[in-house]
Structure 1
Amino acid sequence: MRNRNCNHAKSLLLLLSIGISHSAWAQAETAEGANSTDIVVTAQRRAERLQDVPVSVGVVSGDRLARTNTRNLEELSSQQPALKIATGAASDQLNLRGVGSGFNAGFEQSVATFVDGVYRSRARTSRLALFDIDRVEILKGPQTIFFGANAIAGALNITTRKPSDELTVNASALYAPTDGEYALEGGISGPLMDTLKARVAVKASGMNGYVHNDRLDNKGPHLRDLQGRVQFQWDPSSNLSMTLRYDGARLRDTGTSNTEIIACPPVGSAPTGLCARALGQFGTIDDRFDYHSNAAANRARIDFHEIGLTTRLQLGDYSLNLISGYQHQRADVIPYNVSFPGLSPVGTQSFQWALLGERSKVFSQEIRLESPGDRPVAFQVGGYFDHMDLDLATKFGFFGSAAGALAAPYLNAQSLVGSDAYAQQKSSTLSGFGAVVAKPVDGLRLSGGLRYSRIEKKAHRQAVIGTRGAEPDHEPLTPAPLAAQLLLAGPTGTALGDYPITRRVDTMFMPSASVQYDLVRDVMVYASYAKGFKAGGFGANTADIFGPEKVDAFELGLKSQWFGRRLTTNIALFDSKYRDLQETSTVTTSAGGLISVVNNAASMRSRGIELETRAIVSRGLTLWSNVSYLDAHYQKFTNAPCTPNQRAVTPACIQDLSGQRRAFAPSWSGSVGADVEQPVTDDLLLRLGASLYFTTGYFLQANHDPLSYQPGYQKLDLRAAIGPRDGRWEVAVIAKNVNDAKTASFRVTTPGTVGTGTLLPDRPRSVAFQVSTKW
């Protein structure tokens, strides 16, 4: 491990000695637009130059997303340092600078996601396609003043493309023969009348899969997705502008399971559970990471609807801004069916089964008064309210173990034991905020802000243990006698009662301050402080209650441009101290279930340095890099959940992870690359692009389960395209993960075993052909 990290460090030093570039600039501009170096962001809820904002911000343009076929936020995170977004069983999770909220549907994510100012509270929205986007801003560190309490680690600020004043049309088609990926996208925009214009965009996409299921003789993931967006912008006068947006999505993953079994037999220990039974029956099984699966069928169905209304009213020199949002999401996921082909059943089945259901409705409203930004003293003041209704269902089938024998005489070893747990939660957020910027002398800017938030949550849950049918997703659970349920509650990890507390209210004042000074033209230094807070809450499939987490964050940065803005160098040093960090680990029970254990880590520290550089070497050549060193570790975490191996020895054990690194926190990560434009004829341009992403190893579970460790890796992406200078059309070839690195976004101990693991493979090497046009 140490040698690998040293090699990464040596490679990094070499890249920094020759690498000059800035990921945000390289991603937002090409060499053709080298003179357009003023990227505008809304990191502080008003339009400002990126180089003037006292925040570490990464910017990825919509054009870049389309050119590189970056499908969603998870794929975006594989290109950005210190950003990790992973798809999980119970939930998805977002991590920034080593801070995130874990795989638990009861959590609000510590990295908040906003689309046109509307907050998306549910983690599974990270699976939605990034299409018809103007830009994505990655705001690092607490952003609680302008983006609310849940942006305690950072925020993803997404801006969609807006209706145009003239008729414009765009279309693209992509196909990857390596795994059957396809994508058809189109948009049309223009005026409907003098004061009304509209934009409509649609994307249909899918994939046949890259993991072969030997049991079912098909491939997965088998994706069939459809998304659409409609926007209307009404400008009845120079003082009033309103934009109404509707987003709809239908995501489907059907037909097969692409999870793989590894370490059967386990390394250094005797096989147990399903692994032991399989080895006893077959002698050997396929336990290599080789894109082959033997699991039973799974599925994922997500339906999403969102309405956003943005109103801007000019009151003299001041602007009154209102952002209204409504979301409805429904998700049903069978995340895993762990099984071994041909294994003799305990009852009539031999696999573990789970179904996770989620229903959410969210209404939000923000009102903000904004003064002109060019005055000696500028301010913003406003308020925010949201309300969410959340229903969660967690259903298990413990079919790979003889769990029924533990409840004799009520059940027996042949009984197909299962459990159902339901949780309902209502939450409301009410907050007020204000920020002021003063410019006492030329080049000096002093900023201060304060936000107060009150979050109220009410929740109830109920759970039952019983027996299921052979087709568990179609047959209801038959409750067992209460005495049997009490005997099975511990082995299955099922809490039978309600939450011990069913209502909680958390409040917090969150101040922030920054100072920035222009040393010379195009060279600015800044220092900032922010206090962050995220409310406590209720676990999803357990009766766990967790308290609020808090952070004190400091950042020191330099933003600079040199040689006529041909060389850009941005540096940020950060140090964030978290208290009572909300943490969850996925652990297995003796009956073969997976549960998310939730608690608060007493203290955790995230500190490091980020360097972004960009150099326009010539009109046709741009070099860029984006590198992060991160030290994110628990300062005190004495009540951490144990690994399955530890629980096998001491079922009620806890472990001390004080001084250990947090999950999803690699020491080094980053990307380097080049963009080249070479004339072929007077009108045709050959466009070439290359980027290399690298990371050191990291854990994917908070309990440091060895089976959840992802070793360090590198991934090389290439692109070659040809088209006219005006961009009317383009034909491209896109190659991803050219070096075919084997990685997994989700790793956990296999239910029903100890020492054997299950992983969800990331995409291997792929090659796609893309055709696009616009006029």
Structure 2
Amino acid sequence: MTHPKHRGARKRIFTGVFAATMALAGTANAQKLEEVLVTAQKRVESLQDVPISVAAVSSDKMTDFGITDMENLSAYVPNFTINETGISTTVTIRGISSGVNPGFELSVGMYNDGIYYGRDQLARVPMMDLERVEVLRGPQGILFGKNSIAGAVSMISAKPTDEFEASIRGLYEPDADEKDIRGTISGPITENLSGRLAFLYREMDGYMENTYLDRDEQGEEETFIRGALQWQATDNFVANLKVSRATFDVDGRNVDVFNSIGSPDHLTVLNGIQTALGRPAVGGELDYKRDNNGDLSDNTVDNAALRMDWTLEPFTVTSITGFVGYEYEEICDCDFTAALVVDSDVDSDYSQFSQELRLTSLGGETIDYIAGVFYQTSELYFSDSVNLVDDTILTQVLGGLSPALAPLANLSASKRNFEQDSDLWAVFAQVTWNINDAWRLTVGGRYTDESKDASKDQQHLSGSNFGSTFLPPEPNGESIPTLYNFMFGAFGIEPYEEVKGDLDETAFTPVVTAQWDATDDTMLYATWTKGFKSGGFDARSNAHPDPAVMNAVNAITGQDLVGTFEFDEEEANSAELGAKMRFAGGRAELNAALYYTEYTDLQVSQFDGTLGFNVTNAGEATAQGVELDGRWAATDSLTLSGGIAYLDFNYDSFPNSQCAFGQAPDSPDFPGLCDATGKRKEYTPEITATLSADWRRPIGNLELRAGLDVNYMDSYLYSAVLDPNTKQDSSAIWNGRIALASVNDTWEVALLGRNLSDETVLNYGGNTPLAGILTQGGGNSYYAFVNRPRNYAVQLSYKF
């Protein structure tokens, strides 16, 4: 890990590099930068003309550095992070994310060729054959719309081509035994019809050693296939159809358990029980080794999209019809150790249909406009169970209390079912008044109406009769159900009949933007907008939400449990000042954004200390800061690019936060909870930055290529309860690539090095589940997802 004393030096390095590159740009002997085109405003525009803080990552960048998913991509965009957790994926822009709960939709809207990818599981879909990925920072409540209160990520697939082309590329990395092969074939089928086929197969053993199972983890196997057709029926009508299927299966997790603290010490207690049961001890070092009984995750995602564009003077009509569906099954050994305590089965299905109709002016007139309607319907089913398996350590614990209790810990489960249906429709419009050659004024708005219906139930089931919530009475006549409930009550889990809820919410989100072309090379803008994210229902809370119901249960178990179910909508007010600038005759660019956003009723999900997560609204929060992005063609052979972001995040009001380990409850209004007002949220590093150098030099009929980049992140907390023991120190991850290719780019051989600095970075974690139970609240340890260490890979590619 990087020592914190280097933080200030690295800030100065990145700031100095940007200042130096811009100052020297005027003296460099190089060609102009290639223009970056984006569709951030649903039109094809130059990135330099868009009044939004946008970062665009090209297909070449993703391919060259082996970026296979959104999590790897996020390292190259300041103020944008993606972290895989035990049961979900968090996507964060400017410190705002949705947290861990299947009932959440993402605060960062993801869009695949215009189709909304709002569920966290979709952030894990393998990426390939993309033209580019655009990351829009700040609320995007008008043209992207649904729930994009923190920002939007737009993935644009490569389209079928008019001329034949094909490619194949392979990668091999020996340490984790990673193999990646992908290819495309594209070209005309008939005079007016062209097609494209893309495929991917990837597998690897993993980089964590599971000493208990004697294997490497997490093992991954991914397949992806996409077919696309483009029909140019007339000069004025074109249709694009895309169908894809992705599977991604995982064995194990890249999770480590470490830092056992307190009295009694958690791992000391746990290993004492392990010894009594004749089982191996559990380690406790952060060393890329873990002791675990095994996890798995099997996922399938289907996607279909049909886009039709009619050009009818003086506007274009666009129709986008989309379907997204996924199903996944997971087994989680959720105490994250090799001790036999509990495991969890998860089963989820999701389906979504959407339709958008859009009217867009051709552009270049005094008044330009975009207007449309949007409809989406979706169904979500989520089921999970906490299973107590044979020879669990609870047999030992409960048997020590009473021999009659020991059988209760074997072959039993607590099962939860959650279902949700959602329907949404919206109308939107955005109008730009081109006042003169220098000034533009844009106003727009979106009206949204969304309804949701949800239900959830939770039962305790016996292994001998898995469909029943009851067990036969003990010989002494004592009620087994009461004891059974007491046992699960120790985990904070209680049974309850079905609870239901429904909501119907409306919102209007406006935007006002002024643009000024101060010079031919400088555009300044100011924008104000509102963001909205709908409320919903908690799928993961382990207790009934009604205190009156829980009072009777708590009287038996001695617990103080109250669950959560419904949570409120989230709103944002955001202002941004920005500049898009060109220098040195188009050989350098620098874009800057200064932003200020206030959030109310921020939706958060926090670990309850045992096995569950509770959703609540966090009152008020403020995110503000500065973002810089730039490119510089230093010479004909060398191009530098990068970005740096400063983030100041503050909970202005959060009196109902879960307490961290060892923290005494101090909330004046919420007994048993802690007041996090004035603190920073998790995943809010002050400084994030990336700097890349790309160098190319012809050598006869060959070309030598080299690339080097560094991705820097300041320190941050990675636990939602803001435990100071979950601090990740600042880090700088270096990646390098050197390649030899033909001048006409037909073939290439490359050596790739990732995380050359061998930084150990913890992406997500918190209290090890059940540590508090085994130590009766006196001890704790921590788990964390650990990123990949230094690795080298060989890449080969050939284009036909």
TM-score, with structure 1 as normaliser: 0.92
Query: CA 1:193/1:558 → structure 2, altered by over 3 Å: closer, same or farther?
Result: same
Unpaired runs of 5+ residues, structure 2, are: 472-480, 542-563, 773-779
Query: CA 1:478/1:630 → structure 2, altered by over 3 Å: closer, same or farther?
Result: same
Q: Distance in 2 between matches of 1:485 and 1:129?
A: 43
1:298 aligns with 2:295: yes
Q: Which amino acid aligns with 2:434?
A: K
Map of 1:774 onto structure 2: 799
Q: Distance in 1 between matches of 2:178 and 2:299?
A: 19
Q: 2:619 aligns with which of 577, 582, 602?
A: 602
Map of 1:479 onto structure 2: 469
CA offsets, 1:529-565, max 9 Å, x none?
1100000000112242110000000100011001111
Q: Distance in 2 between matches of 1:743 and 1:45?
A: 37
Q: 2:600 aligns with which of 554, 557, 579?
A: 579
| Count of residue pairs brought into register by the alignment | 747
Map of 1:674 onto structure 2: 693
C-alpha deviation, 1:739, in angstroms: 1.2
CA offsets, 1:316-364, max 9 Å, x none?
22111011111110011223343655x6xxxxxx233112221101001
CA offsets, 1:129-175, max 9 Å, x none?
11000000000000110111311000001100000000100110110
Q: Which amino acid aligns with 2:793?
A: A
Map of 2:517 onto structure 1: 518
The 3-state SS of whatever aligns with 1:618 is coil
Q: Distance in 1 between matches of 2:189 and 2:466?
A: 52
Q: Distance in 1 between matches of 2:274 and 2:230?
A: 66
Query: CA 1:257/1:39 → structure 2, altered by over 3 Å: closer, same or farther?
Result: closer
Q: Distance in 2 between matches of 1:697 and 1:559?
A: 29
Map of 1:497 onto structure 2: 496
Map of 2:344 onto structure 1: 354
Do 2:665 and 2:673's aligned partners in 1 also have CA atoms closer than 8 Å? no
* 1:86-485 alignment, distance < 5 Å: 86-254=83-251, 256-264=252-260, 266=261, 268-272=262-266, 275-279=268-272, 285-338=282-335, 341=338, 350-398=340-388, 399-401=392-394, 411-412=405-406, 415-416=409-410, 417-468=412-463, 476=466, 479-480=469-470, 483-484=482-483
Query: CA 1:773/1:501 → structure 2, altered by over 3 Å: closer, same or farther?
Result: same
CA offsets, 1:560-597, max 9 Å, x none?
001111121111100000000000112322xxxx2111
Q: Distance in 2 between matches of 1:586 and 1:718?
A: 38
Query: CA 1:33/1:747 → structure 2, altered by over 3 Å: closer, same or farther?
Result: farther
Q: Distance in 2 between matches of 1:707 and 1:333?
A: 29
1:53 aligns with 2:50: yes
Do 1:392 and 1:424's aligned partners in 2 also have CA atoms closer than 8 Å? yes
Map of 2:544 onto structure 1: none
Do 1:263 and 1:757's aligned partners in 2 also have CA atoms closer than 8 Å? yes
Percent identity over paired residues: 28
The 3-state SS of whatever aligns with 2:601 is strand
C-alpha deviation, 1:401, in angstroms: 3.6
C-alpha deviation, 1:117, in angstroms: 0.5
Q: Distance in 2 between matches of 1:499 and 1:642?
A: 29
Query: CA 1:250/1:171 → structure 2, altered by over 3 Å: closer, same or farther?
Result: same
Do 2:33 and 2:588's aligned partners in 1 also have CA atoms closer than 8 Å? no
Query: CA 1:192/1:286 → structure 2, altered by over 3 Å: closer, same or farther?
Result: same
Q: Which amino acid aligns with 1:605?
A: T
Q: Distance in 2 between matches of 1:530 and 1:498?
A: 43
Q: Distance in 2 between matches of 1:725 and 1:302?
A: 41
Do 2:456 and 2:500's aligned partners in 1 also have CA atoms closer than 8 Å? no
Q: Distance in 1 between matches of 2:287 and 2:361?
A: 58
Query: CA 1:521/1:476 → structure 2, altered by over 3 Å: closer, same or farther?
Result: farther
Q: 1:561 aligns with which of 575, 579, 582?
A: 582
C-alpha deviation, 1:644, in angstroms: 4.3
Do 1:626 and 1:672's aligned partners in 2 also have CA atoms closer than 8 Å? yes
Q: Distance in 2 between matches of 1:606 and 1:407?
A: 51
Map of 1:742 onto structure 2: 760
Q: Which amino acid aligns with 1:356?
A: V
C-alpha deviation, 1:602, in angstroms: 0.5
Q: Distance in 1 between matches of 2:125 and 2:21?
A: 27
Q: Distance in 2 between matches of 1:191 and 1:706?
A: 59
Q: Distance in 1 between matches of 2:400 and 2:679?
A: 37
C-alpha deviation, 1:200, in angstroms: 0.2
Query: CA 1:478/1:757 → structure 2, altered by over 3 Å: closer, same or farther?
Result: farther
C-alpha deviation, 1:280, in angstroms: 6.6
Q: Distance in 2 between matches of 1:65 and 1:496?
A: 47
Q: Which amino acid aligns with 2:642?
A: S
Q: Which deviates further from its counterpart, 402-411 or 158-167?
A: 402-411
CA offsets, 1:385-405, max 9 Å, x none?
101110001211354446867
Q: Distance in 2 between matches of 1:6 and 1:537?
A: 43
Q: Distance in 2 between matches of 1:434 and 1:407?
A: 67
Do 2:501 and 2:566's aligned partners in 1 also have CA atoms closer than 8 Å? no
Q: Distance in 1 between matches of 2:674 and 2:291?
A: 33
Do 2:105 and 2:118's aligned partners in 1 also have CA atoms closer than 8 Å? yes
C-alpha deviation, 1:646, in angstroms: 4.3
Q: Distance in 2 between matches of 1:766 and 1:32?
A: 36
Q: Distance in 1 between matches of 2:393 and 2:769?
A: 8
Do 2:240 and 2:308's aligned partners in 1 also have CA atoms closer than 8 Å? yes
Q: Which amino acid aligns with 2:677?
A: S
Q: CA RMSD in A?
A: 2.7
Map of 1:472 onto structure 2: none
Q: Which deviates further from its counterpart, 485-494 or 670-679?
A: 485-494
Do 1:20 and 1:613's aligned partners in 2 also have CA atoms closer than 8 Å? no
C-alpha deviation, 1:407, in angstroms: 11
Do 1:464 and 1:485's aligned partners in 2 also have CA atoms closer than 8 Å? no
Do 1:261 and 1:293's aligned partners in 2 also have CA atoms closer than 8 Å? yes
Do 1:575 and 1:608's aligned partners in 2 also have CA atoms closer than 8 Å? yes
1:723 aligns with 2:748: no
Q: Distance in 2 between matches of 1:159 and 1:738?
A: 30
Q: Distance in 1 between matches of 2:336 and 2:764?
A: 18
* 1:756-771 alignment, distance < 5 Å: 756-771=781-796
Q: Which deviates further from its counterpart, 614-623 or 460-469?
A: 460-469
C-alpha deviation, 1:410, in angstroms: 8.4
1:694 aligns with 2:691: no
Query: CA 1:277/1:731 → structure 2, altered by over 3 Å: closer, same or farther?
Result: same
The 3-state SS of whatever aligns with 1:441 is coil
Q: Distance in 2 between matches of 1:748 and 1:406?
A: 29
Q: Distance in 2 between matches of 1:229 and 1:4?
A: 45
Q: Which deviates further from its counterpart, 520-529 or 617-626?
A: 617-626
CA offsets, 1:359-417, max 9 Å, x none?
10100111111112111101111011101110001211354446867998985465235
Do 1:720 and 1:734's aligned partners in 2 also have CA atoms closer than 8 Å? yes
Q: Distance in 2 between matches of 1:601 and 1:499?
A: 27
Map of 2:572 onto structure 1: 551
The 3-state SS of whatever aligns with 1:658 is coil
Q: Distance in 2 between matches of 1:113 and 1:142?
A: 13
Query: CA 1:48/1:476 → structure 2, altered by over 3 Å: closer, same or farther?
Result: farther
Do 1:707 and 1:756's aligned partners in 2 also have CA atoms closer than 8 Å? no
1:618 aligns with 2:618: no
Q: Which amino acid aligns with 1:676?
A: W
Query: CA 1:22/1:457 → structure 2, altered by over 3 Å: closer, same or farther?
Result: farther
The 3-state SS of whatever aligns with 1:641 is coil
Q: Which amino acid aligns with 2:584?
A: F
The 3-state SS of whatever aligns with 1:479 is coil
The 3-state SS of whatever aligns with 2:759 is coil
Q: Distance in 1 between matches of 2:454 and 2:3?
A: 47
Do 1:406 and 1:488's aligned partners in 2 also have CA atoms closer than 8 Å? no
Query: CA 1:421/1:433 → structure 2, altered by over 3 Å: closer, same or farther?
Result: same
The 3-state SS of whatever aligns with 1:125 is helix
Query: CA 1:442/1:495 → structure 2, altered by over 3 Å: closer, same or farther?
Result: farther
